Amino acid sequence: MAAGFQGYLAGKAPAEIGSSDVKRFLSHIAVEKKVSASTQNQAFSALLFFFRHVLDRDLADISETVRASPRRRLPVVLSRQEIRRVFAHLQGVYLLMAKLIYGCGLRIQECADLRVKDIDFERGTLTVRSGKGDKDRVTVLPESLKMELQLHLAGARRIFDQDFRDGRAEGVALPDALERKYPNAGREWAWFWVFPAPAMSDDPRSGKHRRHHIHVSNLQRSFKEAARRVEKIDRNASVHSLRHSFATHLLEKGYDIRTIQSLLGHSNLQTTMIYTHVAGRNLLGVISPLDTP
């Protein structure tokens, strides 16, 4: 971006560069280069740093700069039939993780970070802790997954018992400062991963030999391969498409948009409203005058 600014000024001496040059350059890349809003903001941050720390000057008012328009991308949503066909090509732990992501509206990292204590079978809820924006939220736990999840946790319990029976494990990693406050909590079953990795490894930050959760890249690869094997899915579907599909399918069933916002953990309702553009039903409930007798 610095080279682009220098080329735009045609070799103008640094001492002669002013705020008007920055204003014209930012408008130029927005109007003629058609860069995205994030790219324009990145260019502004770089130039602000250049002025303050290289030229030792502050930028004057550039409020009249033409702003690049934010580009809104519609999410990739799969139909229920497409999701069932993708699931048919998944197996084992990756199938269970994909079902949880779709059934609970999780982000992929939120699924990987789940602890045993986050699942409440009696209440039928799943708690997401320290999600995006470091927020906790509660979402629905599908009734159809309870038995499968309990069987999976029985296997995870065997891994947990084996780790500490051998005396090799030093306890799972804990969030934030909890490890200092409760040094033995990482050895408790409640804090163990729902989806533990198949083998232990050294923690690069603490140097401790412990078991981590399954890496999200493994699920991403498995899902991509499964989607590729399904005929007639010509969109760039990813694991995150399952979260988009969760929201869209709830909207199509008539659930309130604010309920969906809460389940997804969106701070802004406008973020959730994007699903109204991809839902496959008349969300307004309006009957066209052409259809009325």
Q: For the chain, what is the mean pLDDT?
A: 85
Q: What are the residue ranges of helices labelled H in 56-173? A: 80-87, 92-104, 108-112, 146-166
Bigger pLDDT: 35 vs 274: 274
Q: Is 107 a catalytic residue?
A: yes
Identify the active-site residue in 132, 152, 208, 224: 132
- Binned at pLDDT 50, 70 and 90, residue 26 comes out as confident
Identify the active-site residue in 85, 210, 213, 266: 266
Identify the active-site residue in 99, 213, 249, 275: 275
- Binned at pLDDT 50, 70 and 90, residue 79 comes out as very high
Q: Is 221 a catalytic residue?
A: no
Q: Report the range out of 45-54, 136-145, 230-239 with the highest average pLDDT.
A: 136-145
Rounded to whole angstroms, the Cα distance separating 61 from 117 reads 52
Within 13 Å and on the Cβ side, how many CA atoms surround 26?
Answer: 26
What mean pLDDT do residues 261-277 have?
88
Mean pLDDT lowest among 7-11, 235-239, 245-249: 7-11
Q: Is 157 a catalytic residue?
A: no
Rounded to whole angstroms, the Cα distance separating 29 from 35 reads 6
Bigger pLDDT: 187 vs 51: 187
Tokens of 15: 């001492």
pLDDT higher than threshold 80 for residue 227: yes
Within 13 Å and on the Cβ side, how many CA atoms surround 6?
Answer: 7
What is the per-residue pLDDT for 157? 96
What is the per-residue pLDDT for 21? 79
Name the packing angle between helices 92-104 and 240-252 (round to 10°). 40
What percentage of the chain reaches a pLDDT higher than 90?
45
Name the packing angle between helices 240-252 and 80-87 (round to 10°). 140
Question: What b-and-e string marks burial along 143-169, b requiring 16 or more CB atoms within 10 Å of the CB?
Answer: eebeeebeebbeebeebbeebeeeeeb
- Binned at pLDDT 50, 70 and 90, residue 69 comes out as low
In degrees, rounded to 5, the angle at the alpha carbon of residue 186 between the alpha carbons of residues 195 and 147 is 35
What mean pLDDT do residues 215-229 have?
94
Q: Is 115 a catalytic residue?
A: no
pLDDT higher than threshold 90 for residue 152: yes
Q: What is the pTM of this model?
A: 0.74
What is the per-residue pLDDT for 92? 95
Residues 6+ positions from 112 with CB-CB distance below 8 Å: 97, 195, 213, 214, 215, 216, 219
What is the per-residue pLDDT for 45? 81
Contact 116, 191 (CB under 8 A): yes
Tokens of 145: 């997954």
pLDDT higher than threshold 60 for residue 205: yes
Identify the active-site residue in 99, 107, 210, 244: 107
- Binned at pLDDT 50, 70 and 90, residue 283 comes out as low
What mean pLDDT do residues 15-34 have?
78
What mean pLDDT do residues 241-251 have?
93
What is the per-residue pLDDT for 293? 56
Q: Is 209 a catalytic residue?
A: no
- Binned at pLDDT 50, 70 and 90, residue 146 comes out as very high
Write down the residue that tokens 């927020």 correspond to.
135
Q: Is 180 a catalytic residue?
A: no
What is the per-residue pLDDT for 286? 56
What mean pLDDT do residues 173-187 have?
81
Helices and strands in the chain: count of H runs, count of E runs: 12, 5
